[in-house]
Amino acid sequence: MLSRIEPKIHFPFSLKKGVAMLQYLLQQVGGEYTYMGLLKLAFFADRYHVRKYARPISMDEYYAFPYGPGGSMLKDILLEPEVIFFQQENPIERSSAYNVRLVSQNIDLKQFSKADIDALSFSTNNFADIGKRPKGEFILSDISHAYPEWDQYADLFNSGKTKRESICYEDFLSEPKENHPMFLKHRFIDPFDKLTEEERTDLIDEMREYSAVLSS
């Protein structure tokens, strides 16, 4: 893991953009998906965007959960839509115990830059079909466990000592083990381009500058 002396990087979360992100991903996968699988697609899109553009799409606070990394507010949107959209049109709804469905095709595409679409496409192109397999959401969960964002806490989760741990965006810049057991289990090849140490340092500096501008 990268050493961190400065305060944790934060970005201001936008509910409009978070909802649009989930709507867009749902539309791309056919309008219905498991909520756990959709959170993974959002994570992989944010991971790509951080590694290429020094900021996430969602701007959410990320945590490691037993099922893998996930955005806190994105999770609430999918699991408690009746609370998030109280007395408002609900663009996403629970269609079963484990699935969510796109209700409104009216997606606010103005929320996205070309870079955002690039990252969302990377996620769906590399991961969406996996989630459509039988119990595919658990395969995506396994694969997400291979990435350092979650893997750094593997011993704590495996021993039952934690149920949630904070993830820093700097962790998105670290590389997984090429022969990680979860990659081998599912015969999966990591699609993310590797970063050099210089690239990681530059991305962290850029993230901090961007975070400071948005917070000012």
DSSP 4-31: --SPPP-----HHHHHHHHHHHHHHTTS
Residue 38 in any domain: the answer is: yes
Q: In what order do the strands lie in the sheet with 68-71?
A: 68-71, 62-65, 165-166
pLDDT in the model for residue 5 = 57
What pLDDT does residue 3 have?
A: 47
On whether the CB atoms of residues 167 and 64 are closer than 8 A, the answer is: yes
Q: Are strands 68-71 and 32-34 parallel, antiparallel or unpaired?
A: unpaired
Residue 109 CB: number of other CB atoms within 10 A? 11
In a domain, 7, yes or no: no
**6 part of a folded domain:** no
Do the Cβ atoms of 167 and 69 come closer than 8 Å?
yes
pLDDT at site 72: 96
Give the range of the structural domain holding residue 201, as residue numbers without chain letter.
15-209
Question: What total of structural domains would you count in the chain?
Answer: 1
In this structure, what are the phi and psi dihedrals at residue 85, rounded to the nearest 5 degrees? -105, 35
Is 3 part of a structural domain of the chain? no
In a domain, 135, yes or no: yes
Which residues are registered as beta bridge partners of 114? none
Over residues 116-139, the pLDDT tens digits come to 999 999 999 999 999 999 999 999
Instruction: Please give the Cα distance from 162 to 23 (Å, whole number).
Output: 31
Among residues 132, 127, 176, 114, the alpha carbon closest in space to that of 150 is found at 176
d(CA 92, CA 200): 36
- Whether residue 214 lies inside any domain: the answer is no
Print burial letters for 132-158: b (CB count within 10 Å at least 16), e (below 16): eeeebbbbbbbbbbbbbbbbebeeebe
In a domain, 80, yes or no: yes
Closest-CA residue to 21 (of 125, 92, 98): 92
pLDDT under 50 in the chain at which residues?
A: 2-4
Helix (H, G, I), strand (E, B) or coil at 32: strand
* 189 occurs within a structural domain: yes
For the chain, the C-alpha Rg in angstroms (whole number) is 17
Please calculate the CA angle 77-82-88 and round it to the nearest 5 degrees: 95
